[in-house]
Amino acid sequence: MNETTARVLELLKGGHEYLSGQEIGRKLAISRSAVWKHVRELRGAGYGIVSSPKKGYGLRATANVPSAAEVTPLLTTRSIGRRIDYHAAVDSTNRLAGDRARQGAAEGTVVVADEQSAGRGRMGRRWESPPGENLYFSVLLTPDVEPARVPQLALIAAVAVHEGLAACCPDIPAQIKWPNDILVGGRKVAGILCEASTEADRVHRVVLGIGVNVNGVGVPDALQATATTLRLAGGRETSRPALLAAILNRLEARYDGWLLDGSLRGVLEAFERHSALNGRPVAAENRTGVVRGVARGITPAGELIIETKDGALVHLLAGDVHLLPPEGAT
């Protein structure tokens, strides 16, 4: 949405039942036919705008679209989301946020899209990103920390997504699955991808990509057994702008706490309390192989602790974790 369209929207949100095209045109120094074109664009974006030849235009329904116009008024943040770069369609918000960073975008810049043609997961996997229903966004961060601490940001984001969900959909019980999944009823409803550009002792930037399945009434065939949406779990529509703002608000609070503290201390308790893994048999897979055992929590550095059948405690910094049936740990 361009700046003038956003200003037309702002005027229509001003509380009047109707506002004439002439009045809008006068306030923005544009012609009545230009006003009409902006109204048409807003309707195309999902806003319910009625028109009457005598009275003008009236806003009757806002769009469930995570654009800056809808999200910004709901933010309580200082930096995160203060610039929102919204697109109807992109290949990947993470790819675009990385480009924005190289062009000098400020910390806290958020790239959001309604649809992704090449949404990505970890290790080159694909993130299904159909239009009109979900959240796909990337947050640019430039923390002044040791590169070894960067993976902790995925845990920070997981807690922030969990807290945002709890604020917006308190009736949907979600769990966090180390390191980067949010589950509802054992199925994945959100995923996090933390991509960083670092030097030996310095972090240039981190792009924190988050995908949440929100209002879909189904999931792609290949994901039937493993994924769900908030709509399927809770039976009703969720406001995408409200959910995005809630996640960004929580993310800034958690991120600031992490920087100030110099540790994960503040989030570990939340992570553990809502963990989908603790005390459960798991198989964790990473580059070095597969570890089977019982999940026993997270270390202060954010590593997963697995107790193997011979009683050893293995710490994992990264990997994919699968829950096993009760007898599966041995």
**Residues at the site binding ligand BT5, with contacts judged by CB under 6 A:** 92-94, 116, 119-122, 125-128, 136-138, 180, 188, 191-193, 209-211, 213, 223, 227
Q: Which is nearer to ligand BT5, 192 or 277 (CB)?
A: 192
User: Could you tell me the smallest distance in angstroms from the CB atom of residue 13 to ligand BT5?
Assistant: 28
Using alpha carbons only, give the angle 94, 100, 102 rounded to the nearest 5 degrees. Answer: 105
User: Could you tell me the smallest distance in angstroms from the CB atom of residue 121 to ligand BT5?
Assistant: 3
Rounded CA-CA distance 40/31 in Å is 14
User: Could you tell me the smallest distance in angstroms from the CB atom of residue 232 to ligand BT5?
Assistant: 11
User: Could you tell me the smallest distance in angstroms from the CB atom of residue 212 to ligand BT5?
Assistant: 8
The dihedrals phi and psi of 281, each to the nearest 5 degrees, come to -70, 135
Task: Give the residue at shortest CB distance from ligand BT5.
Answer: 191
Q: Which is nearer to ligand BT5, 66 or 281 (CB)?
A: 66
User: Could you tell me the smallest distance in angstroms from the CB atom of residue 120 to ligand BT5?
Assistant: 4
Q: Which is nearer to ligand BT5, 116 or 275 (CB)?
A: 116
Q: Which is nearer to ligand BT5, 21 or 98 (CB)?
A: 98
Rounded CA-CA distance 46/43 in Å is 5
Crossing angle for the helix pair 240-261 and 265-273, to the nearest 10 degrees: 130
Q: What are the angstrom distances between the C-alpha of 281 and each of 47, 140, 158, 324, 330?
A: 48, 35, 21, 5, 9
Rounded CA-CA distance 43/141 in Å is 34
For 251, counting Cβ atoms within 10 Å of its Cβ (0-12 exposed, 13-18 middle, 19+ buried), the class is buried
Q: Which is nearer to ligand BT5, 123 or 260 (CB)?
A: 123
At 45, which amino acid appears?
A
Rounded CA-CA distance 230/277 in Å is 21
Q: Which is nearer to ligand BT5, 121 or 218 (CB)?
A: 121
User: Could you tell me the smallest distance in angstroms from the CB atom of residue 317 to ligand BT5?
Assistant: 15
Q: Which is nearer to ligand BT5, 38 or 205 (CB)?
A: 205
- Determine the longest span between alpha carbons in the chain, in angstroms: 81
Q: Which is nearer to ligand BT5, 34 or 223 (CB)?
A: 223
Decide: 156 and 258 in contact? Cβ < 8 Å. Answer: yes
Residue 275 DSSP label: B
Beta partners for residue 280, in sequence order: none
Nearest Cα to 17, choosing from 44, 63, 53, 50? 50
Rounded CA-CA distance 122/236 in Å is 30
User: Could you tell me the smallest distance in angstroms from the CB atom of residue 143 to ligand BT5?
Assistant: 19
User: Could you tell me the smallest distance in angstroms from the CB atom of residue 197 to ligand BT5?
Assistant: 16
